[in-house]
Amino acid sequence: MLSRRDFTESGSRSLSGASLRRGGLALALSALALLVAGCGSDDEARSEQRPPVPANVSVHIGPDRITSSPAEVGAGPAMLLVTNQSGASQTLTIEGPRLSRTVGPIPPDDTATLKINTSPGDFKISAEEASALRPATLAVGPARESAQNELLLP
């Protein structure tokens, strides 16, 4: 309850020393909380480069051979987009330095995707052993540049 002595002659409420100390303490604690929240080190996150943008490689399984476009890419992540136009179900294998992956069986007139991470070297893209399809070679060169400064990437 407010008493007459809590007001000054002009009618405004006067603040006692205790309420000023509480307000000062609250302000100091708020400033300390902001200071502590602002401290911290995220140097590790800033020093890591983003990986290169994945290279899209189209692989066509035709009636007599397998082709890839482009035939050369830089090392790093790649997405193989495979289409089977051979007329029969096919299982596709890619083999190279430190990599051996298989996708399939891929039905005729259908597609498949395969995500890989390549290193420099030649990669053989072939169909199952029973198939007489001529394999393709994907040449992988030096590593591609980081996508660190590329905007609007997923």
For residue 85, give the CATH number of its domain.
2.60.40.420
The predicted-structure confidence for 6-55, as pLDDT tens digits, reads as follows 555 555 555 566 666 777 777 777 877 777 666 665 555 565 777 778 88
User: Could you tell me the two tokens for 19?
Assistant: 């309420």
Alpha-carbon distance of 142 to 30, in angstroms, equals 53
Residue 128 is assigned to a structural domain of this protein: yes
The predicted-structure confidence for 81-122, as pLDDT tens digits, reads as follows 999 988 888 888 888 888 888 887 889 899 898 898 888 989
Please calculate the CA angle 134-139-143 and round it to the nearest 5 degrees. 155
The letter for the amino acid at 93 is: T
Residue 1 is assigned to a structural domain of this protein: no
Residue 74 is assigned to a structural domain of this protein: yes
Residue 133 is assigned to a structural domain of this protein: yes
pLDDT at 140 over 80: yes
Domains contained in the chain, number: 1
- CA torsion 17→22→23→24, rounded to 10°? 90
User: Could you tell me the two tokens for 114?
Assistant: 């395969």
pLDDT at 72 over 70: yes
The letter for the amino acid at 140 is: V
Alpha-carbon distance of 77 to 55, in angstroms, equals 6
Note down the domain range covering 92: 55-143
Residue 88 is assigned to a structural domain of this protein: yes
